[in-house]
Amino acid sequence: MKIALGSDHRGFEAKQQIKSIIKQLNHECIDFGTNDINPVDYPDPAYLAATAVSKKEADRAILICSTGLGMSMAANKVKGVRAALCHDELGARISRDHNNANVLCLSSDQTGEVLLRKIVEVWLKTKFSGGRHERRVRKIAAIENGKDPREIKNG
């Protein structure tokens, strides 16, 4: 898989760790910055990485800032992106299994190295289960397209 990666200055160190994890799992990494700890605005790398997913230039993306909240908000504005802020392995697993999340957002301030590795590994390895969850993901897309999700029926 091609994984787009982005962080602001507060997430830079965690991004470097994640880049290593991605490579260890034999995935390709596309780094959209930042490249040091000098202050940057989180929407910039969030937009670049999320857009790569939206345009199918990357299969998924991982974004890191101090809380993960800003990255999540920014990424979810990009059409076709389902960004999930995850703080543990269960959230990471469900975000993929049930919601087919294509962007993982993480908090550098609240996630230590060991947990960070576990979350990233689980998120990258978990597949979307489809089934009844497929309809729900289609409803999310309907909302994104300005439609009432209640109009989406089974099938």
Mean local confidence (pLDDT), 8-30: 97
pLDDT, tens digit, for every residue of 59-108? 999 999 999 999 999 999 999 999 999 999 999 999 999 999 999 999 99
Helix (H) or strand (E) holding 84: strand 83-85
Q: Is 33 exposed, middle or buried (CB count within 10 Å of its CB: 0-12, 13-18, 19+)?
A: middle
- Catalytic residue (choose from 9, 27, 29, 98): 98
Largest CA distance in the chain: 49
| 65 labelled catalytic | yes
Domains of the chain with bracketed CATH: 2-128 (3.40.1400.10)
| 9 labelled catalytic | no
- Catalytic residue (choose from 65, 86, 87, 133): 65
Query: In a 3-state reduction of DSSP, which class is residue 65?
Result: strand
